[in-house]
Structure 1
Amino acid sequence: MNPLKKLAGETAIYGISTIIGRLLNWLLVPLYTKLFIPEDYGIVTNLMSYVAILLVVLTYGMETGYFRFASREKESDTTFSTGFISLITTSFLFWIVIAGFLNPLSVFFDVPTNKSFIVLLALTLGFDAITALPFAKLRQENKAFRYAGLKLINIGINLGINLFFLVLCPWIYHHFPEVPITKVWNPEFGIGYIFLAIFVSSFINLLLLLPDILKVKLCLDRKLLLKILAYSSPILVVSICGTLNINLDKMIMPELIPESQNPLYQTGIYGANYKLAVIMTLFIQAFRYSFEPFFFSQSKEQNSKQVYAEVLKYFVILGLIIFLGVMFYLDIVKILIDTRYHEGLGMVPYVLLANLFFGIFFSLSLWYKLTDKTRMGAYIAIIGAVITIALNVLLVPIFGYMGAAYAVLVCFVSITVISYIAGQKYYPVPYDLKRILLYFLLAAILFVVAGYIPLENEWAKMAAKTPLLLIFIIVVIQKEHLWHSLGKIVGIKGKGNK
């Protein structure tokens, strides 16, 4: 099978499940922004940013290590079993630590009267870490449909619990006071139901994965574990720094913005508008799920480097189409969040581009993973984290949440450039840099032109931007000689209609 078609097919499966799941989940964003004031949503944003970091720490690069060694070892089950036992052990140790420091942690996160928030998130993190390798095994075995199905179940449960406690219970409480709904629902728990939902869905995921886990005889190969950890420890640094680059702004924003400017309010505005980059995030997430096991398996082929070059080019093309699409139709996209949050829409293009460069950086990262120079990847990631911290400390007190948006874009552009230069030295891939830069330039020109369309009516303005998006797509089709492929698709459909 054509490797690009295989990658595209698996990306589509992961993408469809991720898109459907995230869209269902995204129904909650307008709900949250309507039910909770920005200060309360700021607490959710702040806590969830720590969750993202801790999940990376608790999985410590084991997924990438599993992909690398499962493709080498004769017994991939031994690789899975060894990594799985390691993750279970560290998850239990994490729970013990959280239990011991629960009181100071609740004070640190400004939820001293809601320690249950911390407990629910800690349990969720442990379950997610334990299920990380079973999910990686499904990806490694190309069981994309099962992977996608489990993820959809997870999102569906999350959505259902949110709607039950945040919509149905309050409605029953106000319209049918005779129903004793307060026996299962506490109106004071508020944002705690967000954390309860992710805990329950995570636990059920673990239960659903038990058949896959129990198929493998669990045994620990200590020598193999040491090899995996030696390979994966720099990946852990890369992952931590990458997650920091995305989430650090939300973590430290309340500390950097003066109290007079309402830091939790600004954090809530930033968190809500950051999520308007959801389409780009979904695309990158689907690509990452399929690309990592793909490039490890593809590395044995003769034309692997040419394939990697083609993958990056088409990834950039699709990413730029998403960027233009979101920005040209932002007046539609913005309805996902309440009007109280619309003041932050100016940060959306910076966040979209930052996510695109994050995806490019991930695509380029194959060079240090395939050459076992993961330590080099760690150095680059650390540089990115330093840039993120420095720019946030410098810009956020001056520009507020816009400073954080500038910082995340500069960070990902910088580490992408550094990774490209280093990669060409240690594992040269013939990326079509001229063509990629041409597409970036064209997208930038069209974006600027769209900003000067002299129309007041939002719908008329969006209609006027549509030809600009079509221009980009037509140029791509022309440059990549895709007319023949499109003709074949049309021809097939035509024959089917006959």
Structure 2
Amino acid sequence: MMNDNNIKNAFKAGIWYTISTLLVKSISIISTPLYTRLMSTADYGISATFNTWYALLFIICSLNVGYSIGRAKIDFKDDFDNYIGALQIICACITSILFGIIFLFFPQMKSLIGLDKTAVICLYIYVLFGTVVSIYQGKYRFLYQYKQNIVISVFISIATVIFSLLFIVILPQKYMGKIVGTTLPMLILGIMFWIVAIKNKTLSIKKEYYTYALAFSIPLIVHSLSIYVLGQSDRLMIKYFCGDHFVGIYSLIYQYAILITLITNSINQAWNPWFHDNYALKNYELIKEKVIPLIAFGCYIGIGCIAVAPEAIKILGGEQYMSGLQAVLPIALGVVIEFVYTQYVIIEMHLKKTTYVSIGTVVAAIINVLLNYLCIPRFGYIAAAYTTLVSYFMLLMMHHFISRKVLGVHIYKDKLIYAMLTITVLTGIILSNLYYHIFIRYIIIVGISVVFLVYNKEFIIDKIRRKSR
């Protein structure tokens, strides 16, 4: 149980993380129309492929050691900085070994990777220093040093836009301009953190740190890779079956739809610590009561995202991306369902049944890949959005079953939760069929907003009062 001071620090950090996330995402949204107008859809697709490979290789090269930082702060409280230094060495070694193999067999792997050698060199730099930056962000997060974390996030966001626009204009290959611009900020920060570690002599080779980090983190690699497959593999398979042009369109649509996670992630940052504390105190009725308005809010944000999609896509990408509009509905619904199933996952986490978390994610990832393989060649790139939706729904079903039938936990109003999801799906379908009737569409969303505010006014007033204290 956290003391009052830690609760205040956590709450303050949560508010500032939310603000900084909104700021960083706003910068990303504002810059997206610039990228899409300076780059072809194929160039935009190649840069998206670069980011997709980064997400995969980050998991492999970091070995998920960042997951161990929170617990290590307690177990190594007197030499926490040395532990962080040990994580730096682990990530640097794994990254260099893996990319050494990639460069050695690059002629054979080039068609699989889908990037030229210069882009892969940038990818190596990005992963090498990106893992280090992530480790320090984890350190600052668990020490409640949110100011340092915010500075890092804002710097990366602003510098990436500036460098990317500069190099897109300068370089003949526009996708390389975006890739170089993305890599440079991470290179600058990574070098800085290495200099700090060397100066402070915290680069430890103590065996205890390595065994601790690897024992804690390696079992979670399967889970992280499966999450990656669910979130990223669709773009790789679209590239393989349809080409870079359609990867570019799908990536922009996906980037828009997952804006919902700005809100849902902020909710979870505040909800998760509160849930753990109250579950430990057996305040089950309180949890049952409080989770409903949170899920309702997530559903409302999802509906709003679907409702304004035509105008948003036109602003972000222009007419050349409007053909992907029909992918917004399934992607947005998938994100909402993801938010709901995490409420069941947190039960498994609290009870330390993390094996169930991995099993569910692996099964969903396998289903996603198989459905993509079968459906994308037949129905086109839009099929990837629907296969992802199906996979997330499978995850919800599995974690619901695990929490109720396997673990015997009954703390949610499940029927009400599924009723809210059903209403969200039906409303989303109606709105997506009104994309060319803007007036009717906005009348509906205004009406939904009024209903939401009326039914949740007590919850909203309570949150406002808490923030004003």
Same fold (TM over 0.5): yes
Counterpart position of 1:275: 255
CA shift, 1:388, in A, is 0.6
390-399 or 309-318, larger mean C-alpha shift: 309-318
Provide, for residues 129-188 of structure 1, a one-character-per-residue CA deviation record: whole Å limited to 9, x for no partner.
12222111111112223211210011111011122233xxx4xxxxxxxxxxxxxx33x2
Q: Distance in 1 between matches of 2:283 and 2:441?
A: 41
Matched, 1:202 2:186: yes
The equivalent residue for 2:244 is: 264
What displacement does 1:314 show? 4.6
Between the aligned partners of 2:352 and 2:210, the Cα distance in structure 1 is 16
Segments of 5+ residues of structure 2 without an aligned counterpart are: none
Counterpart in 2 of 1:85?
Answer: 89
User: Which SS does the other structure have where 1:206 is aligned?
Assistant: helix
Query: Separation in 2 of the partners of 1:268 and 1:304?
Result: 47
CA distance in 2, matches of 1:444, 1:235: 32
Task: Establish whether residue 485 from structure 1 lines up as the match of residue 462 from structure 2.
Answer: yes
Could you tell me how far 1:290 is from its partner in structure 2?
Answer: 6.5
Structure 1 counterpart of 2:440, which letter? K
What per-residue deviation string (whole Å, max 9, x for no partner) do you get for residues 363-408 of structure 1? 4433444444333322222101111111101211121112101110
- Structure 1's 452 and 343: CA in aligned 2 closer, same or farther, altered over 3 A? closer
Label 1:487 to 1:389 Cα distance change in 2 as closer, same or farther (>3 A).
closer
Shift of 1:123: 0.9
1:383 equivalent to 2:385? Answer no
**Contact persistence 2:63–2:218 (CA under 8 A):** yes
Match for residue 366 of structure 1? 346
Distance 1:484-1:109 versus aligned 2 partners, 3 A rule: closer
Which of these residues, 118, 122, 125, is aligned with residue 120 of structure 1? 122
CA RMSD across the alignment: 3.4
Offset of residue 120 of structure 1: 0.5
Structure 1 residue 484 displacement after superposition: 5.7
Which residue identity does 2:56 align to in structure 1?
A: I
SS of 1:401's partner is coil
Match of 1:52 in 2: 55
Q: SS at the partner of 1:428?
A: coil
Normalising by structure 1, we get a TM-score of 0.81
1:347 aligns with one of 313, 327, 331: 327
- Of the three residues 94, 98, 105, the one matched with 1:94 is 98
Amino acid of the structure 1 residue aligned with 2:27:
L
How far apart are 1:83 and its partner, in Å? 3.0
Q: 1:7 to 1:464 in 2, by over 3 A?
A: farther
Give the TM-score of the pair, scaled to structure 2. Answer: 0.86
Moved more, 77-86 or 339-348: 77-86
Q: Is the 8 A contact 1:325 1:469 kept in 2?
A: no
Cα 1:108–1:482, aligned 2, differ >3 Å: closer, same or farther? closer
How do residues 17-416 of structure 1 correspond to structure 2 at under 5 angstroms?
17-75=20-78, 77=80, 79-111=83-115, 114-166=116-168, 170=169, 185-186=170-171, 188-209=172-193, 213=197, 217-257=202-242, 263-286=243-266, 294=273, 298=277, 302=281, 312-334=291-313, 335-416=315-396
Q: Is the 8 A contact 1:102 1:118 kept in 2?
A: no
Which residue number in structure 2 is paired with residue 178 of structure 1? none
Aligned pairs, number: 462
**What is the one-letter code of the residue matched to 1:350?**
P
Question: Which amino acid letter does the alignment assign opposite residue 139 of structure 2?
Answer: K
SS in 1 for 2:412: coil
1:336, CA displacement in angstroms?
0.7
Cα 1:211–1:318, aligned 2, differ >3 Å: closer, same or farther?
Answer: farther
CA distance in 2, matches of 1:295, 1:62: 25
Amino acid in the other structure paired with 2:397: V
Moved more, 464-473 or 309-318: 309-318
- Give distance in 2, aligned partners of 1:477 and 1:20: 27
> Counterpart of 1:465?
444
Inter-partner Cα distance in structure 1 for 2:149 and 2:358: 29
Take 2:162 and 2:226, find their aligned partners in 1: how far apart are those partners? Answer: 33
CA distance 1:202–1:278, change in 2 (3 Å): same
Residues in 2 aligned to 1:340 and 1:393: alpha-carbon distance in whole angstroms? 26
Q: Return the letter of the residue paired with 2:145.
A: K
Displacement, 1:487? 9.0
Taking the aligned partners of 2:275 and 2:423, their CA distance within structure 1 comes to: 33
Q: Secondary structure at the match of 1:376?
A: helix
Checking the alignment, whether the CA contact within 8 Å between 1:306 and 1:429 is kept in structure 2 is no
Instruction: Using the TM superposition, give the Cα deviation of residue 12 of structure 1 relative to its aligned residue in structure 2, in angstroms.
Output: 3.3
Q: Which amino acid aligns with 2:413?
A: D
SS at match of 1:238: helix
Amino acid corresponding to residue 216 of structure 2 in structure 1: Y
Q: CA deviation at 1:437?
A: 2.7
Distance in 2 (alpha carbons) for counterparts of 1:243 and 1:360: 19
Mapped to 2, the partners of 1:47 and 1:487 lie a distance apart of 41
Distance 1:2 1:437 in 2: 38
Aligned to 1:13, which of 7, 12, 16?
16
Q: Which amino acid is the alignment partner of residue 123 of structure 1?
A: I
Cα distance, 1:404–1:21 mapped onto 2, change above 3 Å: same
Does the 8 A contact of 2:360 with 2:395 survive in 1? yes
| TM superposition shift of 1:301 | 5.2
Deviation of 1:435 after TM superposition, in Å, equals: 3.6
State the SS of the aligned residue for 1:365: helix
Deviations 1:392-435 (A, max 9, x none): 01211121112101110111111122123223434837233344
One-letter amino acid of the counterpart of residue 16, structure 2: I
Match of 1:228, SS state, is helix
SS in 1 for 2:174: coil
Q: Is the 8 A contact 1:154 1:204 kept in 2?
A: no
Question: Any conservation in 2 of the 1:237–1:378 contact (CA below 8 Å)?
Answer: yes
Equivalent position amino acid for 1:206 in 2: G
CA distance in 2, matches of 1:128, 1:25: 18
From the CA coordinates, give the structure whose radius of gyration is larger.
1
List per-residue Cα deviations over 1:28-50 (Å, max 9, x = no partner).
Answer: 32223223332332222233222
Quote the offset at 1:280 in angstroms. 1.2
